[in-house]
């Protein structure tokens, strides 16, 4: 029986809202890292959380600071202050806190989507033994935002980020981070991704000096909106984690 529980992960002065899906005999744990404006309760994360425990994995999904505010279980913090550095800090907190919640920290995998994939790669947390990057940017050199006169960034959704977001993200080289990480990496990208051009997947792939595979899901958009595309992705993820965790 899968034990589904909401819980808080405590940071230095904030808490992250999280959910864990545990089957007692499972040892390996997979962490989900959502995208820039996403959250742990997105439909694909919920579906995959129900699937992976049946294949021998515990699952932890969480909201980054400032995320989940339109749900019953938001994390602390203000989305406006989001940076890649702050998200790496949150992600590492989750990975390093697993033993506090009865989960093994020696057999850990991570699945990152979009900006959440950049976080997983840039963190290069040594406790992770295998990762999956879905619709992940190689860099943020494409037009996804508008800078206001005050220096803030206005996203297409109407949300705002401080000008520190742009200053911070350029400090990271995701390709070089993956090269140094040397960790088994699966890259999944939709052929019709309307947010992150598909060539970013090939750029990521070419930097990895470890076991790696690249799958382009034909017809899939950035969010894997269609159920058939999400099912294809979770099948690939499951096979990858079984092989490498």
Record the pTM: 0.96
The answer to whether the CB of 38 falls within 8 A of the CB of 113 is: yes
Going along 176-231, which residue ranges are E strands?
Answer: 185-190, 212-217
- The number of residues in the chain equals 245
The arithmetic mean of pLDDT across residues 125-137, rounded, is 97
pLDDT in tens, 37-77: 999 999 999 999 999 999 999 999 999 999 999 998 999 99
C-alpha closest to that of 21 among 44, 49, 48, 46: 49
Q: How far is CA 140 from CA 98, 112, 218, in A?
A: 31, 16, 23
**Mean pLDDT, to the nearest integer, of 96-116?**
92
The CA-CA-CA angle for residues 37, 172, 18, to 5°, reads 35
Cβ-based neighbour number of residue 194 at 10 Å? 9
pLDDT, tens digit (0-9, with 9 covering 90-100), for 192-222: 999 999 999 999 999 999 999 999 999 999 9
Domains of the chain, CATH where assigned? 3-244 (3.40.50.1820)
pLDDT at 143: 54
pLDDT, averaged across the chain: 93
What helix, strand, coil percent values describe the chain, rounded to 5?
35, 25, 40
**Mean pLDDT, residues 164-174 taken together:** 94
Determine the 3-state secondary structure of 47 from DSSP.
helix
Tell me the average pLDDT across 162-177.
Answer: 94
Percent of the chain at pLDDT above 70?
95
* Residue 237 contacts residue 33 (beta carbons within 8 Å): no
- 82 in Cβ contact with 73 (< 8 Å): no
DSSP single-letter state for residue 186:
E
Helix or strand holding residue 178 (H, E): helix 174-181
Whether 32 contacts 46, CB under 8 Å? no
Question: Residue ranges of the alpha helices (H) in 74-134?
Answer: 84-97, 115-123
Tell me the two tokens of residue 201: 């997947």
Calpha distance 235→215 (Å, rounded): 12
Query: Residue 1 — very low, low, confident or very high, per pLDDT cuts 50/70/90?
Result: low
Q: Are 135 and 193 in contact (CB under 8 A)?
A: yes
Per-residue pLDDT tens over the stretch 143-164: 555 666 577 888 888 899 998 9
Q: Which residue has tokens 């960790």? A: 183
Using alpha carbons, select from 8, 47, 3 the residue that is nearest to residue 24. Answer: 3
- E strand or H helix that includes residue 167: helix 164-169
């Amino acid at each position: 029986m899968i034990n589904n529980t909401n819980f808080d992960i405590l940071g230095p002065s904030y808490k992250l809202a999280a959910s864990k899906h545990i089957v007692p005999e499972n040892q390996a744990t997979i962490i989900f890292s959502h995208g820039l404006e996403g959250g742990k309760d997105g439909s694909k994360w919920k579906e995959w959380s129900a699937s992976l425990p049946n294949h021998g994995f515990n699952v932890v999904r969480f909201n980054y600071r400032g995320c989940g505010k339109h749900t019953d279980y938001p994390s602390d913090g203000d989305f406006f202050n989001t940076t890649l550095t702050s998200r790496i800090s949150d992600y590492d907190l989750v990975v390093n806190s697993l033993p506090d919640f009865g989960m093994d920290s020696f057999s850990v995998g991570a699945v990152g989507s979009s900006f959440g994939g950049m976080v997983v790669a840039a963190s290069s947390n040594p406790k992770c033994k295998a990762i999956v990057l879905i619709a992940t940017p190689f860099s943020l050199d494409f037009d996804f935002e508008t800078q206001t006169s005050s220096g803030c960034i206005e996203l297409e959704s109407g949300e705002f980020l401080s000008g520190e977001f742009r200053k911070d993200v350029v400090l990271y080289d995701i390709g070089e981070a993956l090269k140094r990480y040397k960790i088994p990496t699966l890259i999944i990208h939709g052929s019709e991704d309307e947010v992150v051009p598909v060539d970013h997947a090939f750029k990521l792939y070419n930097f990895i000096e470890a076991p790696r595979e690249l799958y382009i899901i034909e017809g899939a958009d950035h969010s894997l909106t269609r159920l058939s595309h999400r099912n294809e992705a979770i099948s690939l993820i499951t096979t990858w984690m079984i092989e490498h965790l």
